[in-house]
Amino acid sequence: MDTSINFEDNYFSLLKSLKDETKLRLIKKLTDSMLEKKVAINTEVNKDETLQRLAGVWKNDAEAEKIADEIISSRTSGKTRHIIPFDE
């Protein structure tokens, strides 16, 4: 633990003489690099969770059959449609 404090102190002593604008750019780059790692980790976790949730979704799903029947019964091909004009 003592070595990490010395490590940070050594860097700080080098960086404290920089202009404020340069320090802010450095802070942004460090923050972005941390966020990139976090996004990469979360993406992998979410991908695995999504695949697990989707496993077997269509397998013998009675509700899917009901939806398919409703779609088929609502089709209008071969039926006469009565179009109402807008000006009525």
So where are the chain's domains? Answer: 19-73
Q: Looking at residues 7-31, what average pLDDT do you find?
A: 88
Identify the residue with better confidence: 32 or 7. 32
pTM, full prediction? 0.38
d(CA 80, CA 88): 20
Reported as a single tens digit per residue, the pLDDT across 20-73 is 999 999 999 988 888 887 766 666 666 666 666 666 655 565 677 888 888 888
26 vs 17: CA distance, rounded Å: 13
